[in-house]
Amino acid sequence: MCGIIGIVLRYQRALSKPLGSVIKGCLKNLEYRGYDSVGFALASSNSLVIRKSKGKIDEVDVKLAFDDFDGICGVGHTRWATHGKPSDINAHPLTDCSKRIVVVHNGIIENYLELKEELIRRGHRFESETDTEVVPHLIEEFKKLGMNSYDAFKKAASLLRGTYALAVIDTDEPGRIYFARNTSPLVIGIRDDATFLASDIPAFIDYTRKVIVIQDDEVGYISGSDVRIEKLVSKSYEVDLTPPICELVDYSSRIRHIDWTPEMAKKGGYPHFMLKEIHEQPQAIASTLSSLANEVKDVLKLISKADRVLIVGAGTSYHASFVGSILLSELAEVKSHAIISSEMKWYSRSVDECDVVIAVSQSGETIDTLLAVREARRRGALTIALTNVIDSTLARESHLTIYTRAGPEVGVAATKTFSAQVVALTYLALSLAEYRSTLSTNKLNELKNSLRSLPDYVSSTISATEPRARSLASLISSKQNAYYLGRGLGLPVSMEGALKLKEVAYIHAESYPAGESKHGPIALVDEGFPVFFTILGSNDGELIISNVEEMKARGALTIAVIPSNLDRIHKYFNYAFIMHPVPYEVAPSLYIIPHQLLAYYTAVTLGYDPDKPRNLAKTVTVV
């Protein structure tokens, strides 16, 4: 996920070193967000310097020479590629035709293609492959049409759809940095002799702890001694001269003093990355959904005419693949099977040019998944990567790529990348269902609307289930074993729940189809043996009751993740996470949340570091 820093000084050298050096330090504090390129721009009353490059800060520092540049106002950026590969040209800052307006951006501008076409029609020349470059050109265009610098910026911001945190310098106003936020984070840091703008507090924590968090749909600017915040209350998507309507915001009650340590600050105040990343799921899902339409459009016809779709993945990515295979089959009537990457070779003799192989991998580097793709390609199948890392080996080696946009995941146990993968596969299944007319319009609309509302449901579910997960953790931490049972889509969610508990709390946890539990697993169940049931809706709810009864009769401690509207079933369980009822087909990325939280809190209760589980690696490049 990109990192932004912007600084305006009240007077030259206010922070006792060249502004380029200060920006470098701030960007280094944002390195934990993950990035592939770095850049900065420094303005003073009569000059503008822009330096940028692919690579890590320490590697490219000699070339960029941060320390050699000074100024009164500057922006810096670490880019985590989403639109356009990592390269010097695609690195931020990006500029307009006259190279007088510079922009750094975090997020995805969904309508950039239509804006770019319009701007090209009006004579603008683009240099990069990024979505971001439309922003400086839009500002340039509105200034050309007669607007002043700040109004042109606000007008440009009001035209953007998607997610964004923006920091902009216009050399006609060198003492200001304009900003705008929608979904992507942005905070202001204040001190007497300088004002900061950043994606996250750690960027400037060495200089100030006095912060204001910018809210969605806010625009404004910082100067060396002032902050102006306005709320964008009306948007018009027309490239015309109607200024957007904004209301001035009184932010005095929003100024906070942060007492975090720098280490805590990197984790956004959370004690571990795993917890931070669990909490980032609403944003991971929203960003992923915002960019899928174009990528998925390209594959509908190809998948639809295939004989079958094989979805391969390892670990958590296999569980997402499993969800995907059920949904492709249930919603779009596509023959699909999920296969664990390392087991794919036992099926490959039957793979041919009539197959599509979708390879799911957050890192895009897992060797077992890569080998499965290479073999499938050799046999003539169409290969599609579903990955979180742009230009990863998997993306490069597959015919087509669909990206999840969860941002970098630091915790070894995957959380937000799982929900992003599940959401991407759900979107694919729904798009295929629409393309193949396999669902009624009502059902299709109901599912699409629920998918769109998922970020909100996920957010409220985290708040609603976290206290129970924390309190149940002390009970689970005293156990040696646990079963996770489910039916249908509840099964891959259960498998992922069991994996999380194993990975970070080192408790032996196994998942089975609930109906299968009586064929062996039940032999181990005795007094107090924890058995989790993940029930996504009334279909699996009715069926599962007999499995619950069987477990209870042996003294099991039964715990449910269950929708609130199945209240007649709640009484069967010792404990329950009561969930918002959503359609069964979109439930998996919501119902995994209590499992993730419980695994996290159990690990912490037992004194383990959930970010670095023993014997595990984030990216596995050996067979």
State the Cα–Cα distance between residues 165 and 6, nearest whole angstrom: 12
Q: Taking contact as CB under 6 A, which single stretch among the options 122-130, 282-290, 374-382, 407-415 is the one that binds ligand G6P?
A: 407-415
State the Cα–Cα distance between residues 488 and 364, nearest whole angstrom: 27
- Cβ proximity to ligand G6P: between 334 and 359 the closer is 359
- Cβ proximity to ligand G6P: between 28 and 272 the closer is 272
Residue 291, interface with ligand G6P (CB under 6 A)?
no
Q: Is 305 a catalytic residue?
A: no
Residue 610, interface with ligand G6P (CB under 6 A)?
no
State the Cα–Cα distance between residues 182 and 135, nearest whole angstrom: 14
Give the per-residue SS3 of 394-434: HHHHCCEEEECCCCCCCCCCCCHHHHHHHHHHHHHHHHHHH
Q: Taking contact as CB under 6 A, which single stretch among the options 440-448, 506-514, 534-542, 612-620 is the one that binds ligand G6P?
A: 612-620
Q: How many residues does the chain have?
A: 623
Total residues at interface with ligand G6P (CB under 6 A): 16
Residue 317, interface with ligand G6P (CB under 6 A)?
yes
- Minimal distance in Å, beta carbon 329 to ligand G6P? 22
Q: Taking contact as CB under 6 A, which single stretch among the options 31-39, 360-368, 453-461, 564-572 is the one that binds ligand G6P?
A: 360-368
Residue 493, interface with ligand G6P (CB under 6 A)?
no
- Minimal distance in Å, beta carbon 364 to ligand G6P? 7
Residue with tokens 């209870």: 552
State the Cα–Cα distance between residues 198 and 166, nearest whole angstrom: 10
- Cβ proximity to ligand G6P: between 130 and 316 the closer is 316
- Minimal distance in Å, beta carbon 387 to ligand G6P? 8
CA distances from 202 to 209, 242, 266, 284, 417 (A): 9, 38, 5, 21, 23
Residue 393, interface with ligand G6P (CB under 6 A)?
no
Return the residue of 149, 366, 431, 589 that touches ligand G6P, per CB under 6 A: 366
Residue 342, interface with ligand G6P (CB under 6 A)?
no
Residue 412, interface with ligand G6P (CB under 6 A)?
yes
- Minimal distance in Å, beta carbon 404 to ligand G6P? 10
- Minimal distance in Å, beta carbon 284 to ligand G6P? 14
Residue 616, interface with ligand G6P (CB under 6 A)?
yes
Q: Taking contact as CB under 6 A, which single stretch among the options 10-18, 212-220, 259-267, 409-417 is the one that binds ligand G6P?
A: 409-417
- Cβ proximity to ligand G6P: between 287 and 421 the closer is 421
Of residues 56, 448, 479, 618, which has the active-site annotation? 618
- Cβ proximity to ligand G6P: between 255 and 616 the closer is 616
Q: Taking contact as CB under 6 A, which single stretch among the options 63-71, 113-121, 408-416, 423-431 is the one that binds ligand G6P?
A: 408-416
Residue 413, interface with ligand G6P (CB under 6 A)?
yes
Helices 441-476/281-297 angle, 10° precision: 150
Q: Are 551 and 559 in contact (CB under 8 A)?
A: no
DSSP secondary structure string for all residues of 361-394: ESSS--HHHHHHHHHHHHTT-EEEEEESSTT-HH
- Cβ proximity to ligand G6P: between 23 and 344 the closer is 344
Binding to ligand G6P (CB under 6 A): which residues in 440-479?
none
State the Cα–Cα distance between residues 549 and 280, nearest whole angstrom: 37
**Which structure tokens are listed for 173?**
């106003």
Return the residue of 249, 414, 424, 559 that touches ligand G6P, per CB under 6 A: 414
Q: Is 618 a catalytic residue?
A: yes
- Minimal distance in Å, beta carbon 413 to ligand G6P? 6
Residue 558, interface with ligand G6P (CB under 6 A)?
no
Return the residue of 29, 163, 361, 596 that touches ligand G6P, per CB under 6 A: 361
State the Cα–Cα distance between residues 53 and 90, nearest whole angstrom: 9
The three-point CA angle 348-354-355 to 5° equals 50
- Minimal distance in Å, beta carbon 9 to ligand G6P? 42
State the Cα–Cα distance between residues 610 and 249, nearest whole angstrom: 40
Residue 315, interface with ligand G6P (CB under 6 A)?
yes
What mask, x for binding ligand G6P by CB under 6 A, covers residues 162 to 201?
----------------------------------------
CA dihedral 235, 239, 243, 246 (to 10 degrees): 20
State the Cα–Cα distance between residues 421 and 342, nearest whole angstrom: 19
Residue 363, interface with ligand G6P (CB under 6 A)?
yes
- Minimal distance in Å, beta carbon 392 to ligand G6P? 9
Of residues 2, 26, 73, 246, which has the active-site annotation? 2
DSSP letter at 243?
A: P
**Which structure tokens are listed for 321?**
């693949």
Residue 385, interface with ligand G6P (CB under 6 A)?
no
Return the residue of 369, 404, 461, 465 that touches ligand G6P, per CB under 6 A: 369
Amino acid identity at 327: L
Residue nearest to ligand G6P (CB): 315
- Cβ proximity to ligand G6P: between 156 and 603 the closer is 603
State the Cα–Cα distance between residues 324 and 429, nearest whole angstrom: 7
State the Cα–Cα distance between residues 406 and 427, nearest whole angstrom: 15
- Residues 6 or more apart whose CB falls under 8 angstroms from that of 183 comprise 107, 163, 164, 216, 283, 286, 287
Q: Are 288 and 423 in contact (CB under 8 A)?
A: yes
CA distances from 3 to 29, 199, 203, 563 (A): 9, 6, 9, 38
Burial category of 26 from C-beta neighbours within 10 Å (exposed 0-12, middle 13-18, buried 19 and up) = buried
Which are the catalytic amino acids? 2, 618
For ligand G6P, the binding residues (CB under 6 A) are 314-317, 361-363, 366, 369, 412-414, 616, 618-620
